[in-house]
Every structure is written in structure tokens, then in C-alpha cells.
Structure 1
Amino acid sequence: MNFYHQLGLCLLVIVCIWSSQVEAKVQITTIPYNHGEVVLEGVLAWDDAIEGKRPGILVVHEWWGLNEYARTRAEQLAALGYVAVAVDMYGKGKVTTHPDEARQWMQQTTANVKIWQARAREGLRLLQANPLVDQTRIAAIGYCFGGATVMQMVYDAAPVKGVVSFHGSLPLPSASLSIKNSVKIFIAHGEADPFLTQDHIAKFKRALDQAGLDWHMVIFGGAQHGFTNPLANQYGMEGVQYQEQADRRSWGHMKLFFDELFR
């Protein structure tokens, strides 16, 4: 083999390696699963350029169902270096833009708290089963109904290190419930959210304090319900409004929260 032939082979190898590195990117795929007789379909996202195990984040959708917005959040988390699973809380294909239908599906899911918590656990198992996930570093985030769901995961002592609620409904725990107190909680709330009274928020804070939970809340002035979703204005609901500044800042707070949680 002459010098030029050897040089050509070396260049070919370099180009192949470079090409594989360029093609490495965030991957996304659907995962079918079940909760009892309910057929569900989650979304898995990860960056295939990263090697080894990494923290895993569960994403719980708004009351609209597992739509493109929830998928996008999973992709964004994967781009930050996490493995993300967007869980399905309603059933495969159950996505809507109609508030009445969304309310019906949410109420069907939340009517029985134990079933609600178990449905979230089933999605968490998808994340735990992924070989890329560091089992000691798992968290969950949720939006609107999803924010309430991650709080139910706290009350259910789900094996997560932390949860993040974005404009969630902040359900109160049962008075008789013994809550796992090692989980950390970050709550992003809009000051102008009309769906939560100041009295409810005060009760929620007291409940977390009485349980000895590590929590902090950031309140964004002027932000209404749904402030993180760029499509919020299109739903035609009073009190639901996207606010770019609160969206950007709350995401930044979440990243700091995870930096501390997983260090």
C-alpha cells in the first residue's frame, strides 16, 4: 500500500468519525405502555452524543393531553443532557384544544387520587427502565394539571429527588398522610393566575412546612395561568396567557434547581 493510498484511508476514517459526530443529536421516540386496561403512549427523548448514564426527568403534560408542547419540553431537557420521558396521563391519542373536553379528561384522571398517583408511577417506570438513566438522579416536572401531578408524586413518596411545578394547581396533601421529606420542590407560579386564591396558596405552604419538606416558590409578577406555553393565548380562556419573560426566567430557575439537585 503506497503513501497516498494510506493517506486516503486515513482521511476517509476522519471524515466518517466527523460525520458520525455531526449526526449525533437529540433523538425522540414514542413508547407504548399500559396502566391496567388503559393503553398509553409516552415520549422518550435523549441526546445520543452523550455517553454513559445521566439524570432522568419525567415530564407531565397540561390538561390538554400529551401534545406537541409536552414533547418539545422533553426534547429541550434532552438537549440539556438529561433523559426525558413525557408521560401520558389520559390514554393514547387523547389530546384536545377544547377546555370542556380537557376538563372532563382531567377530572376523570383525578377523581381517584390513588389511581392518579398510580398512573404517574407507571410513567415513571418507563424512565427508570431506561439504561441511560442514573437511578439515583431522577426528577419530575409538570405544567398546569402536570404540576398538580408531580405534587401527587411527592405525596405518594415516588422515588424522585425533586419536582418542579409550573403554574400547577397545588393540591393539598391528605391531613393523615406521611410524606417523604427528602424530596425537594420548586414551584413557579404566576402572580396573576386567577385559578388559585391566596388562601389556598397559604394553606399549601403551611402543609409543606408541616411535612418538613424542602421547597421554594418563585412568583412572577403579572403572569397568568399557562405562562410557559406559547400557545396559551390560542385556547380562548380568560386568565390563561403566555408571558415570554416568565417562561424564560422560570426555565432558568429550573436549570439552577437541577444543577443543585444533581450535583
Structure 2
Amino acid sequence: MKKLFLVCAIGLTLSINAQELKQVTYNDGTQQLNGMVTSNAGEKRPGVLILPAWKGIDNEAKQAALELEKQGYIAFIADIYGEGNIPADNRAAAKIATQYKNDYKSYQQRISLALEELKKQGAIADKIAVIGYCFGGTGALETARAGLPVAGVVSIHGGLVKTGNRPVSQIATKVLVEHPAEDKSVSKADYENFITEMNAGKADWQIITYAHCGHTFTNPESPDYNQLMAERAWNHTILFLAELLK
């Protein structure tokens, strides 16, 4: 009996240890970037790039990566800001996130570099999708606007505004927006302008709106967290990814 318990305990430990995230260092010129990848890196699998919220790689992004690994994907969490630039509080996060939203080409560049790193970690080049939370949700949409080579993007309570005086370009990638109904950071005009943009770009797009939800409704550490709607949003994400990456 003791031997059986020991074997089970060892098996459980190995199972837990097998699913760990590993840090991956890559660069944008002289700026060091520190991403994280799931333990199945090196295998040939479909890949998902995760763009974290405005404070950088957080628990929500990490948990998403681990869950995606269970679904059979290689998941890579991008480092958008780089070493030495991780914001310490909301004020600092708002400042640096706004900087990248305005300088959208730099944001797109960092996303592109992360996509290349995901491929280096074993992701099949034509079976890659992007998901992003909050600021990262904005980045998911910037991925589509930039025409980066991905099958689809998921913007989870992301900003919908396209900053800068940019012409509407054709959007080839599929787009899913998971939008909290009571998100005060997205105005009615923002919402309607986004739909106009998607239609003008001839995009394959959809918006799912979640009732009784504030901005960061998917994050268990947020006062806006809505467990039921967060679970529904995650299920919608998994369904969308299965369609894209099957």
C-alpha cells in the first residue's frame, strides 16, 4: 500500500512538474525580451501566441498558457515591453501601454518578433493564432491590421480603437472579439467604428458580448471578475482555436 501511494505521489509530482513554463530570451535590437513557453516546446504542434495585459506577463497569461498546453497547443507569452521596462503600478502601466498603442508599428514589431520565436519553439507556421487580454487584446487586433501571418486572433476585453490616421486595409485573418457589456473603456462610437473597420476590411469577424461584466471580467484577481462569463469566454476561445488550427 505504501509503495502504491509512493508511486502515485511520484506520478502526480511528475505530472505537475511536466507542465511548467520556461523563460525564453529573445531580442529586438539591443532590447532583451523575456517571453515564456510551455513545456511541449520543440514538438511540432499548432501554436498560440498570448499577448498579456498592460502590466506585462501576469498570472492570467500564465494560466492561459498552461490551459492551452492541455489542449495540445504550444503557447508562447510575448514580452512586449522588454527587460527593465516592466511597469510597477497602474499609472506606469497606463503610460507605457499608451505609448505602444500610439506607436502601433513598434507594437506590431514586438508581436512579429514573438511570432517568430513561437515558430522557433516548434509551432507549425501555418497553424498559429493570437489571443490577447486588455492591452494585449488591442495587440491581437493590431496583429490582424498588420497582416501578420496568423490564422486568427482573439481580443479579450481589448481596446477596439485604431489609433493614428490609417487607411483601412483588407484583413485576411479571422477575428473574434470577446467584449464585456459594461466595459467603460470602450465607447459606443469605438464599438461602431470597429464594426465599420472590419466590414470595410472584408474581415471574417464576430463579437460576443458578455452580460453584467466590467472591463477585466476574465481575470480572477480583478474586482470585475465574473466566473460564469469568464468560463464561457474561455470556451468560446477554445472553440474558435479548434476551428482555426484543426
TM-score higher than 0.5 here?
Answer: yes
Aligned equivalents of 1:80, 1:44: Cα separation in 2: 15
Deviation at 1:207, TM superposition (A): 0.6
1:41 aligns to what? 34
CA distance in 2, matches of 1:143, 1:89: 13
1:190 aligns with 2:180: yes
**Residue pairs, 1:18-33, within 5 angstroms:** 23=14, 25-33=18-26
Q: Structure 2 CA distance, aligned partners of 1:56 and 1:107?
A: 28
- Whether the 8 Å contact between 2:168 and 2:201 is mirrored in structure 1 is no
Tell me the equivalent position of 1:254. Answer: 237
Partner of 1:144: 134
* Deviation for aligned residue 1:52: 5.1
Which 10-residue stretch deviates more, 51-60 or 38-47?
51-60
Deviation string for 1:193-244 (max 9, x for gaps)?
Answer: 11111121011011101110001110001111011101112xxxxxxx1111
**Separation of aligned partners in 1, 2:242 and 2:179:** 20
CA distance in 1, matches of 2:101, 2:210: 27
Give me the whole-angstrom Cα distance separating, in 1, the residues matched to 2:34 and 2:95. 20
Matched residue SS, 2:136: helix
1:54-73 residue pairs with structure 2 within 5 A?
54-73=45-64
**Distance between the aligned counterparts of 1:111 and 1:217, measured in 2?**
24
- Per the alignment, residue 11 of structure 1 pairs with none
Partner of 1:100: 91
Output the amino acid matched with 1:198: K
Equivalences, count: 235
Q: 1:167 to 1:193 in 2, by over 3 A?
A: same
Which stretches of structure 1, 4 residues or more, deviate above 3 A after TM superposition? Answer: 19-25, 93-97
CA distance in 2, matches of 1:223, 1:157: 31
Residue type at the aligned position of 2:179? H
Q: Which moved more, 1:97-106 or 1:150-159?
A: 97-106
Q: How big is the shift at 1:20?
A: 8.5
Determine the C-alpha separation between the residues in 2 that align with 1:179 and 1:97.
38
Question: 1:63-121, CA deviations, whole angstroms, 9 ceiling, x for partnerless residues?
Answer: 01112321221111112110000000111264446210111121232331111110111
Select between 246-255 and 26-35 the one with higher mean Cα deviation: 26-35
Change (3 A) 1:184 1:92: same
Query: In structure 2, what is the Cα distance between the partners aligned to 1:99 and 1:52?
Result: 37
Letter in 1 for 2:34: E
Q: Secondary structure at the match of 1:229?
A: coil
Computing the radius of gyration over CA atoms, which structure comes out larger, 1 or 2? Answer: 1
Report the Cα distance in structure 2 between the residues aligned to 1:260 and 1:91, rounded to whole angstroms.
32
Match of 1:178 among 152, 166, 169: 169
Aligned 8 A contact 1:194 1:224 in 2: yes
Q: Distance in 2 between matches of 1:185 and 1:78?
A: 22
Give the whole-Å Cα distance in 1 for the aligned partners of 2:142 and 2:216.
Answer: 19
* C-alpha displacement of 1:177: 4.0
Instruction: Give the share of equivalent positions with the same residue, in percent.
Output: 29
